Chain A
Amino acid sequence: MAGASDILTIRSTRRAWALVTPALIVLALAAIGPLLVVLVYSFLTAGEYGGVEWTFSTDGWFKVLFERDIFDDTLTLADAHLTIFWRSVSLSLVTTVLTFLAGFPTAWFIATRAPQQRAFWLFLITIPFWTNLLVRTFAINQVIRNEGLLNTALLSLGVISQPLQMTYTQGALLIGMVYVYLPLMVLPLYAALERFDPRLLEAGYDLYASRWQVLTRIILPISRPGIVAGSILVFVPCLGAYVTPRILGGGKMMMLGNFIELQFGQGRNWPLGAALSIVLLVIVTLALLVYVRTLSRENRHG
């Protein structure tokens, strides 16, 4: 029974499922299933010492945006929460824009090198990309903290007489996030630009376009899928950032990730933490949907 169809049984659907099932089980147990548990927890009552009590409550969801006054039971918008939301979203957006402004010329530079040199420059981006996020945050912190490299240099040059306070500020957070997430922008941009047909540039110049017009009317529109991919790749982890704001923000400049952690630690409000996690997940999903839609539109147009 060794027919030609038999040996290519990789083609049979039953075998395909048998092959993917072990991975799916692990993912269901340790990645997808727990998310459902979080959804359930967001509708439970907070336990006094953390954890949950198994009674239904919408309090967790309620507290995402509002606080109830302990004395007169009036409702007010939770300003502190809104500040954190706003900081997370605005910092993520600004980080995305800045990484693009720095990353696009870099990706272009690599993509326009001779093929043998490209691998070298690409490797220089890949090393920080794969280097531990914590190590990179630590490295940038060493540069900008009070006793850090930058302050030491400026002090010894006599530019400043007092160390500049950079850590624990919004600026420090921004510098850190741009530093940490820049490789995530460069790689997808490079992937898009590598396939760019240089004849299109010549055609642009041939048809009287200036350098600026070639950039804005040819290069940028054509590399749009890469730009969207890079932006999503930076925006999504920025929004859920935990390590970088924890080290560079020092608890003062909390972002959504730290705020969620707080609810599971000192805050002792697991349902609120669970609800916040779902909110974050929904925002990220929306961003990914934008990405998928952009891609499919590009594909329709070819």
Chain B
Amino acid sequence: MAEQRRHFSAADIPGFGLTAMAVFVALYLPIVTLVVYSFNASASVAEWGGLSLDWYRKAAGNAEVLNATANSLIIASLAALFSTTLATLAALGTTRRAPFRGMTAVYAAINQPLMVPEIVTAVALLVVTAALKQATGYTGLGYLVMAHTAFCIPFAYLPIRARLEGMDLSFETAAADLYASDWQVFRHVTLPLLLPGILAGAMLAFVTSLDDVVITEFIKSPGQDTLPTYMLGQLRRAMTPDVNAISSMLMGVTILMLFAFFLLTRKKA
């Protein structure tokens, strides 16, 4: 009984596992390098000057960076708040019901920001805001908040809709049977059940807004840099490791949000 036994697995395709490993290495090598070198005391990738938080300190001491951080957080928070509110209402109107005339068009409109290339939306908003700024004289963050709210709607909408579709109408029916008014049904049944979806939607909207470069770059007024547009400006010049530090922090926020998102949308066992 010493013959060699070959393993057979229908799902194995030669080379696929190896390619996948190569892909994971290739995906992570640049990101990990970037994070590691944000802690490098030396300014060059060529040499490791020891562990240091200098670049984080330098970034934190830079007034432009602080201003950009504040702008990013204000815009992302407001855009997440508004887009999630709008998306929640839209999801309540488009799920768990028979299709109504124009529902396909509503879907198309909600998902439109996902389908149009960012550069086209950016140009379109540039044209409109330039005219509005000239006509009204208002140059505040309002334009950015409005634009971010619009393109965050589909990101907020998707998890809320997914959650709603998994929710049985029988809960609402039961509540109504127990003398709850429409508002009470929504307040005490629908909303609490929907909350994980709403929070997940808000996270995605926040991250999407925080990451935007192109649209912000086109419609910002002077002094309205967000972190990404500030970085884009820096990249044009010599690259300094404090950009590494900012990048690492942005990534950290994204990963935290993703963890929260997964916990919120995880199916209960």
Contacts and interface: CB of A to CB of B under 8 A. Distances in A.
Q: Do chains A and B touch in the complex (CB under 8 A)?
A: yes
A103 B26 CA distance: 12
A179 to B, nearest CB: 7
Nearest to B190: A10
Contact of B213 (A112, A202, A211, A243): A243
Contacts of B157: 23
Contacts of A270: 127
Contacts of B11: 112, 198, 201
Given A105-B20, A264-B126, A240 B117 contact: yes
Interface string B60-103: 00000000000000000000001000110110111011101101
A152 B258 contact: no
Nearest to A112: B11
A245 to B, nearest CB: 11
B135 interface: no
B33 A30 contact: no
- If over half of A's interface residues share one DSSP class (helix, strand or loop), that class is named, otherwise mixed; here it is helix
Contact of B27 (A31, A182, A198, A215): A182
A152 B26 contact: no
A242 B20 contact: no
Interface in B188-224: 207, 210-211, 213-214, 218
Contacts of B258: 123, 126-127, 130
Interface in B100-150: 100-101, 103, 106, 109-110, 112-113, 115-128, 130, 146-147, 149-150
A108 B121 CA distance: 35
A141 B34 CA distance: 10
Given A32-B109, A215-B13, A23 B87 contact: yes
Given A130-B258, A149-B45, A27 B126 contact: no
Interface of B: 10-17, 19-20, 22-24, 26-31, 33-34, 37, 44-46, 82, 86-87, 89-90, 92-94, 96-98, 100-101, 103, 106, 109-110, 112-113, 115-128, 130, 146-147, 149-151, 153, 157, 169, 172-173, 175-176, 179-182, 185, 207, 210-211, 213-214, 218, 228, 231-232, 235, 239, 243-244, 247, 250-251, 254-255, 257-258, 262
Given A132-B247, A243-B232, 20 more contacts: A2-B176, A11-B97, A16-B100, A22-B86, A23-B89, A30-B147, A31-B112, A32-B109, A105-B17, A105-B20, A112-B12, A130-B207, A130-B211, A133-B211, A141-B239, A143-B29, A179-B27, A198-B11, A246-B232, A284-B116
